[in-house]
Amino acid sequence: MWISPSKAMNGERAVVLVFVFRILSSLPFSLLPHALSLSLLSLFSLFVEIRADDSLFLFKTSRPGASSGIMLGAITLPTVMLSKLIQLSRAFSLQRIELDELEHMTMQFWATSACCCGVLIFLSIVMWCAANNKNPHFSCSVWDAKFSLSCVILYSVVCCISLATISHTGFNTALKLLWLLCHGFAAVKLIQHLLNTFPCCASIGEALLVTSGLVLYFGDMLACTISKVRAALSHPIQAVVTAKSSRISISMLTTLFEQVCRLLISPELVSIRYGIKRSEIGIIIQGVLLGLLIFSAVFKFVICLWEYFWGADKSESRQNKEIGRSLIFFTSLGFIMIAVAPSWMMIVLDFDVHPLLWIFLFVFSEPLKRLSLCIYWLGLIFASVLRFYNISKNSKIERILLRKYYHLLAVLMFLPALIYQPKFLDLAFGAALAVFLVLEIIRVWRIWPLGKLVHQFMSAFTDHRDSDLLIVSHFSLLLGCALPIWMSSGFNDRPLTPFAGILSLGIGDTMASMVGHKYGVLRWSKTGKKTIEGTAAGITSVLAACSVLLPLLASTGYILTQVSLSLSLSLSHTHTHTH
């Protein structure tokens, strides 16, 4: 079934395609397979979004009438990874990074693409099944199936060609493809779980973005763990192989045993070389998130056992049950965060001290600057929350505009810290994310005595974009500011890259909402609320902020610091190859 251009294209999709085209136009010839894969992914996601918007009854979204956002959700992470890959390719040509880091980012790109492609295939199958069931609200032709299948086949071929260039044998390529297939399968299962467990909490595009990010993050964590375990086991197995070769005269059996041992601990089983250097702060953040994931599963299991054995006792009052549940919650949380999560951190990275003690020593290595920054943050948070909470209860100002003040607050909090204390800000973002997750768990599960209080407080700042089941606005703001900073760690020859989230959310999004709400007339699409006037105001404000920020960064020595960091990485790389 042919799709007319007027139906296929609107303002939002045109902006996304222009953004993708800008990335593709800057690619070197060595990344041609990646460009082809991103082009195929863009076409496939555009096709699925158009079909899904015609059948939104199949997918419950958080904002009725709004676009599903499938295209934007499907290409955001692959595009970001491809941009980082372009930067690392430039650094590798200048001999400032090692080949392992470039291969690592290559696999990260293909892993994110596999997650998004897997979810798109899943959505296509759902819509095809709805059409075969002769649903009156949806139709699907043979042309639709052929187009989808062609995109998937071409994408797979391009992926195989790209992986073959960084693999030594066909067996290694097959292992890498298996690793990507696991990412795609995990992404499909996770998005099904999210859409079923938290209906109407997010659009399909938002759920796709969160799904691919989580699968990529925890997949990287799993691969890093396997790599470290493999390194720890390699020396004992090497000794065993040596001992056997000295005792057994038959060389064939010795060689066979050695090959089996190498296969069992081969780094190719995790598709890539994960021996790249990782920072202590990055490992701590990963460990905390892993601990919270383990805690959620353990707590749910313990509560089920507790209710099975003692839940039938009706003589016990409801308050006592709530207190017992709360004790189990905080006890298990403390044990996992103090004992279990740090154990994993010390496995994957050689900490000289316990990770909690490392954090304490890190903060007090510059006590005046970092403690003063903490006091500054706490003062801003207390004053703004107290002020805006009272306004939200008594004022008639729309919630969406009221929440934009918190975006401006993010600029006041994070901008000075990013300039003067970037490493401490990395750690602070991880701590804030952990606190937000714990508070949201307490709110959702109504843990005594904080559950109801947290729910009442958070409800004062929600609007139609949030649901009573799950509130994600504060996570969006925090991660939007933190992710560009985290992803720009290591080699970075663009000094404004870490500021992308703070500028776009704190200034651009705030100005776009305010100007669009008050003066917006021309809308990007018939169903959406975004206006051209608001978009123009957001772009103009970000450009103005950049023109002010660049001289400020130059005067504070921030740019010189970034240049010296890149030079130190280059010298370290040269020193490694010399020895």
- Cβ–Cβ < 8 Å for 511, 520: no
In the chain, % of residues over pLDDT 70: 74
- In this predicted structure, the answer to whether residue 38 has a pLDDT above a threshold of 70 is yes
- Of 187, 191, 123, 109, which is closest to residue 152 (Cα–Cα)? 123
- Of 405, 449, 566, which is closest to residue 497 (Cα–Cα)? 566
Q: Binning pLDDT at 50, 70 and 90, where does residue 267 land?
A: very low
Which pLDDT score, from 0 to 100, does residue 388 have?
A: 74
- In this predicted structure, the answer to whether residue 374 has a pLDDT above a threshold of 90 is yes
Region 354-365: what's the mean pLDDT? 92
Region 89-98: what's the mean pLDDT? 83
Question: Which domain covers residue 203, as residue numbers?
Answer: 5-217
- In this predicted structure, the answer to whether residue 250 has a pLDDT above a threshold of 70 is no
Region 96-125: what's the mean pLDDT? 88
Whole-number Å distance between alpha carbons of 503 and 221: 29
Region 143-148: what's the mean pLDDT? 71
* Average model confidence (pLDDT) across the chain: 78
Residue 439 lies in a domain: no
- In this predicted structure, the answer to whether residue 424 has a pLDDT above a threshold of 90 is yes
Out of 43-57, 58-72, 290-304, least confident range: 58-72
Q: Binning pLDDT at 50, 70 and 90, where does residue 438 land?
A: very high
Burial class (CB in 10 A: 0-12, 13-18, 19+), 340: middle
- Of 71, 31, 28, which is closest to residue 51 (Cα–Cα)? 71
Which of 196 and 309 is assigned the larger pLDDT? 196
- In this predicted structure, the answer to whether residue 174 has a pLDDT above a threshold of 80 is yes
Q: pLDDT tens digit string along 375-412?
A: 999 999 888 877 777 766 665 566 666 777 888 888 99
- In this predicted structure, the answer to whether residue 571 has a pLDDT above a threshold of 60 is no
HSE-up (13 A, CA, CB side) for residue 208: 32
Which pLDDT score, from 0 to 100, does residue 436 have?
A: 92
Which pLDDT score, from 0 to 100, does residue 88 have?
A: 87
Which pLDDT score, from 0 to 100, does residue 578 have?
A: 44
Residue 422 lies in a domain: no
Whole-number Å distance between alpha carbons of 231 and 396: 61
Residue type, 529: K
- In this predicted structure, the answer to whether residue 261 has a pLDDT above a threshold of 60 is no
In the chain, % of residues over pLDDT 90: 22
In angstroms, how far is CA 38 from the centroid of its own chain?
Answer: 19
Which of 238 and 324 is assigned the larger pLDDT? 324
Which pLDDT score, from 0 to 100, does residue 56 have?
A: 53
Entry pTM: 0.83
CA distances from 359 to 17, 356, 411 (A): 43, 5, 25
- Cβ–Cβ < 8 Å for 486, 492: no
Residue 573 lies in a domain: no
How many domains does the chain contain in total?
1
- In this predicted structure, the answer to whether residue 97 has a pLDDT above a threshold of 50 is yes
Out of 238-247, 301-310, 316-325, 431-440, least confident range: 238-247
Residue 265 lies in a domain: no
- In this predicted structure, the answer to whether residue 185 has a pLDDT above a threshold of 70 is yes
Residue 516 lies in a domain: no
Region 308-322: what's the mean pLDDT? 67
Out of 259-263, 315-319, 409-413, least confident range: 259-263
Q: pLDDT tens digit string along 514-553?
A: 888 888 777 776 666 778 888 888 899 999 999 888 888 8
The DSSP line for 338-393 is IIIHHHHHHHHS--SS-HHHHHHHHHTTSHHHHHHHHHHHHHHHHHHHHHHHHHHH
Q: Binning pLDDT at 50, 70 and 90, where does residue 240 land?
A: very low
Residue 141 lies in a domain: yes
Region 422-441: what's the mean pLDDT? 92
Q: Is 284 left (phi over 0), alpha (psi -120 to 50) or beta?
A: alpha
Q: pLDDT tens digit string along 81-90?
A: 999 889 888 8
Which of 65 and 275 is assigned the larger pLDDT? 65
Which pLDDT score, from 0 to 100, does residue 168 have?
A: 60
Whole-number Å distance between alpha carbons of 419 and 56: 44
Region 340-353: what's the mean pLDDT? 89
Helix, strand, or coil here: 233?
helix
Residue 321 lies in a domain: no
